[in-house]
Structure 1
Amino acid sequence: MSTELELTSWRRAVAELYAGVRAADDPAAGHALWRAGRDALFREHPQSPLAPDDPLRTTGLPCAPYDPALRSVLELLPARDADARLELDGGDDAGTVLRPVGRVELPDPVGGSLDVWWLQQYGGGLFLPLRDGSSGRAVDGFSSYGGGRYLLDTAKGADLGGDDGHLVVDLNFAYHPSCRYDSRWLCPLAPAGNTVSAVVRAGEQMPLG
């Protein structure tokens, strides 16, 4: 199979996985489905960013237990700076420009504000990254990738749903970008407007020990 068809297969699988999450009877069941699906993709798919001998293929991706308090349906508020632009390095490919389309305010126990970006590319998509107090350091046995994690990336199928003017934001679904596993991947990292000081002890985490 060509690389292009492999990537199409990967994105199709991700989109189908999130469709299953949105259709689940309850968010915890959707989270269990998501974890199993992510593990299967990273273990078996030819586009997995894991090296063939990476132990995570056997153990699965480390992930915190589901916490229902970390799921919210949040209003998309006006952007802090609607004229801002963020240009991403695309390597050998053309770069991608992001523009802010709004922000969401995270409720307690996390708090803070996150910018919601729009990918200025064919088809577009919403992008919601997160860098929190666990990014790049261990706090009470929990650590996440220093470049941050993703909550939504609808251009690639990572979409938890919502309605007109609102987004489902569930911190339990925070996941590491592919560049965390393989430096050959180029991933947009969480900018300053997507940083919170609280430690988000949810979602995928770095192996410890």
Structure 2
Amino acid sequence: MASESSPSDPAAWLALLDWRRQISALYARVRELRDSDPPAAHALWQAERNRLFRAHSQSPLLPEARADFVSLPCWPYDPALAFSAPVEFLPLERLDIPSSTGQAMPLVRFGRVELPVGTLDVYWIDVYGGGVFLPFRDAGSGHESYGGGRYLLDTAKSADLGSAPGGALVLDFNFAFHPSCFYDPRWSCPLAPPRNVLDVAVRAGERAS
């Protein structure tokens, strides 16, 4: 989840709409392909994000970074870091977490997932539209990846890998991505809360370089 101040150019609203439509369509294709061929789904995810970051007017990249842009650095697909897990529901807990610009983001913690790499709380973004949100930091955050964490799910922005049979969430760290503020400080992005810090380094998904 990321936001920025209102664009001064009215056409930018429609450009942002187009960006979100393309991201939504991408994740629909990823969910369909991942069931039969996860590495191919990952390759598609990388290729399409690279295309959008390179050419779309709403790319999070700074304009000066786009001229020489080739691809977002990612670790190779690792099936050992692809999981699905049921959500253990917990009493609702409302909290505000800090964003990259110091603004508070209201969340509701409603559950947690137990994964081989550790336990992560699962949140609902408590603003208009809402969405399931699962940010995390790991032992590599701050040098191998963004110190503020990465996102595993952000369904408000269509970053949704779907559900496994029985309703378990698909939580594939190979699709973990940096928030937009990693590329441009104009974006305001919620940071991973202290309870969502893993003790191990997760070398999957997007990396710093």
Q: Which residue does the alignment assign to 1:128?
A: 134
2:96 pairs with 1:86:
yes
1:32-51 matches, within 5 Å, as 32-51=43-62
Which 4+ stretches in 1 moved above 3 angstroms? 87-91
The amino acid across from 1:86 in the alignment is D
Q: Tell me which of the two structures has the higher relative contact order, counting C-alpha pairs closer than 8 angstroms and 6 or more residues apart.
A: 2
Alpha-carbon distance, 1:59 to partner: 2.0
Q: Which residue does the alignment assign to 1:200?
A: 202
Alpha-carbon distance, 1:51 to partner: 1.8
Alpha-carbon distance, 1:78 to partner: 2.3
Aligned length: 196
Q: What CA distance in whole angstroms lies between the structure 2 residues aligned with 1:96 and 1:188? A: 6
Q: Which residue does the alignment assign to 1:144?
A: 145
After TM superposition, the score normalised by the length of structure 2 is 0.87
* CA-to-aligned-CA distance 1:96-134 (integer Å, 9 cap, x gap): 411012111111xxx211111001122210000010011
Q: Which residue does the alignment assign to 2:20?
A: 11
Q: What CA distance in whole angstroms lies between the structure 2 residues aligned with 1:183 and 1:31? A: 27
**Aligned residues: percent identity?**
53
SS in 1 for 2:18: helix
Alpha-carbon distance, 1:73 to partner: 1.2
The amino acid across from 1:123 in the alignment is G
Q: Which residue does the alignment assign to 2:72?
A: 61
Alpha-carbon distance, 1:199 to partner: 0.4
SS in 2 for 1:53: helix
- Alignment check: 8 A CA contact 1:90 1:96 kept: no
Q: What CA distance in whole angstroms lies between the structure 2 residues aligned with 1:6 and 1:97? A: 27
After TM superposition, the score normalised by the length of structure 1 is 0.87
Give the RMSD, CA atoms, in angstroms.
2.0
* CA-to-aligned-CA distance 1:11-69 (integer Å, 9 cap, x gap): 11111110010011311111010000110110011011112231685320000000111
The amino acid across from 2:121 in the alignment is D
Choose which of 116, 121, 145 in structure 2 pairs with 1:115: 121
- Alignment check: 8 A CA contact 1:61 1:204 kept: yes
Q: Which residue does the alignment assign to 2:29?
A: 20
Q: What CA distance in whole angstroms lies between the structure 2 residues aligned with 1:170 and 1:197? A: 18
- Alignment check: 8 A CA contact 1:21 1:34 kept: yes
Alpha-carbon distance, 1:89 to partner: 5.6
The amino acid across from 2:11 in the alignment is S
SS in 2 for 1:184: coil
The answer for unaligned runs of 5 or more in structure 1 is: 138-142
Q: What CA distance in whole angstroms lies between the structure 1 residues aligned with 2:99 and 2:139? A: 26
Q: Which residue does the alignment assign to 1:140?
A: none
